[in-house]
Amino acid sequence: MRGFRLVRWLAVAVSLAGVALPVCTAGHPAGRRAEAARPLVFAGPAGHDGRGDAVGLSVPVPALPAPLSLLAPPTVGLLSNATTAEGVLAATARGARYVEGSNVLLLPSGRWRYLPDGGTVSMVVPPGHPAARRQIERSRAWLAAGTVPGRSPARRAAAGRALLAMRALLRPNGALAAGWTAGWMYSWPRDSAFVAAAFAHTGHDAEAYRILRYSAATQRADGTWEARTKLDGSGPPDGRRWQLDASGWVPWATWQWYQQARPASRRARLSALYPMIRRAADHVAGSLRADGLPPASPDYWELMTATPNIGTAAPLLAGLNAAADLARETDRPADAERWAGAARRLSAGITRAFAPLGYRRTVDGRAGHDSAVAFLAPPFNAAPAGLPQALEATYRALLLPNGGLTPGNDPMAPWGQNAWTPSTAFFALAWAGTGRPAQAGRVLDWVLAKRNPLGELPEKVNAAGTPSSVAPLAWTGSIVVLALVSLDGPGLPTPPRRP
């Protein structure tokens, strides 16, 4: 969801570059990650020996000159050697599929395309090539070292692909790219928190902890985070306004990791993260107004609101309860009581201000329904009174003819007819956590049915019901994995709310 200013900038950039590109802003909201422009044609990478295989559109986006890198077509898949990645674009993917359990492509010719260890440009090699085979075996071993959720073969296949995609988007330093197309190749603390939780609940402790360590390293001194950072951790790529909700999401993700981490070492490793938790929770507690609510802040739409919004208040409540429980675990009773008290104030404020409105987006009553109502459900928060009805009403209000959900129906944010897969998948997770597995399953199966031909989960589904924008999207993959974990067993844990 990127802003109208970026659309105007792209038009200027294209004009200067002498490239003909139609630009349309109709029905496109301001905010995060606008859908990428139509595909351009690029020369194939040097040294490519495809011998009749599709070439020319599977190049690392950073290799393209700025500003044209922002005009690159969106990815439909990923090649990865566990230290870097290369986007796969539509022309390369046509007729191809992944070798099972890997990020190696089986091309229509029968040859393999893979990203060599230590390399940055893919190669096309004969099937069974030793180096590519070793990479496949490592990927399969990584999946086998954890768990792949899903009670049916189709769901397990989708979960396995989502896990491999998230692994491919994770950098060695713990930065997690939201996607592998220009504009998405940054680390959002919100997306990263969900992926850390998904890794923790599928037995990939090292990856989860690496993400949390990156979050600690990039936290600002006041306990907040930039909206997003460059993947090298050097700071934000622009002046996009920071969002307060990260100070809730990161403690929540740390708590989820802690529930699954090995008991023998988790307290020692938590000690390294605890200063991050303290700064985040203290900032949140100190930010609460007299009515118990946080100040207005951009929400996950990355749009500012004039009054407090549910997309910020709900994750902050989850984060405060998580931080308080982590403080108890580490024998810090003063911290625990301070943050639990703040959580009680915030919970009461949400009940007073949002509940009478059916938990709509803002407390001023001027906004519409918001998919972020799902953040009040497990595994984030114990569901408050009236939430089941609010979930049902919100789902019906946001449902599009293609079967997916728009993020919200706020008249000030015209989302158009694209369904957003994270917003839709929120409801699968919420209904799985509130004892409605059949409803959760129906929503989840719709999302899984919209994977692209490579099996990747896209950011959007267009009005015609086909995958759109970037794929894979780490955030959608993580929500899907968490929903499957919840449906497979007794449900995901929720930070406790202390009276």
pLDDT at 499: 78
What are the φ and ψ backbone dihedral angles of 181, each rounded to 5 degrees?
A: -135, 145
For β-strands 112-114 and 123-125, DSSP reports them as: antiparallel
Answer whether 82's CB lies under 8 Å from 138's CB: yes
Q: Compute the Cα dihedral for 342, 343, 348, 353 and give only its sign.
A: positive
Read off the tokens for 165: 């995609």
Nearest Cα residue to 404 out of 364, 460, 454: 460
- 3-state SS class at 208: helix
CA–CA distance, 114 with 125 (Å, rounded to integer): 8
CA–CA distance, 166 with 461 (Å, rounded to integer): 20
CA–CA distance, 27 with 156 (Å, rounded to integer): 36
pLDDT at 432: 98
> What is the strand order of the sheet 467-468 is part of?
419-420, 460-461, 467-468
pTM for this one?
Answer: 0.89
pLDDT at 82: 83
The DSSP call for residue 372 is G
Answer whether 436's CB lies under 8 Å from 429's CB: no
Per-residue model confidence as pLDDT tens for the chain (499 residues): 543 333 333 333 333 333 332 223 233 333 444 333 333 332 232 232 333 333 333 444 444 444 545 567 899 999 999 899 999 999 999 999 999 999 999 999 999 999 999 999 999 999 999 999 999 999 999 999 999 999 999 999 999 999 999 999 999 999 999 999 999 999 999 999 999 999 999 999 999 999 999 999 999 999 999 999 999 999 999 999 999 999 999 999 999 999 999 999 999 999 999 999 999 999 999 999 999 999 999 999 999 999 999 999 999 999 999 999 999 999 999 999 999 999 999 999 999 999 999 999 999 989 999 999 999 999 999 999 999 999 999 999 999 999 999 999 988 888 999 999 999 999 999 999 999 999 999 999 999 999 999 999 999 999 999 999 999 999 999 999 999 999 999 999 999 998 7
Q: Compute the Cα dihedral for 246, 249, 252, 254 and give only its sign.
A: negative
Q: Compute the Cα dihedral for 171, 175, 179, 183 and give only its sign.
A: negative
Read off the tokens for 367: 């906004």
Answer whether 428's CB lies under 8 Å from 443's CB: yes
Answer whether 247's CB lies under 8 Å from 219's CB: no
- Please, where are the H alpha helices in 354-386? none
What are the φ and ψ backbone dihedral angles of 220, each rounded to 5 degrees?
A: -80, 160
- 3-state SS class at 461: strand
Read off the tokens for 220: 């600002």
Answer whether 431's CB lies under 8 Å from 437's CB: yes
Answer whether 267's CB lies under 8 Å from 313's CB: no
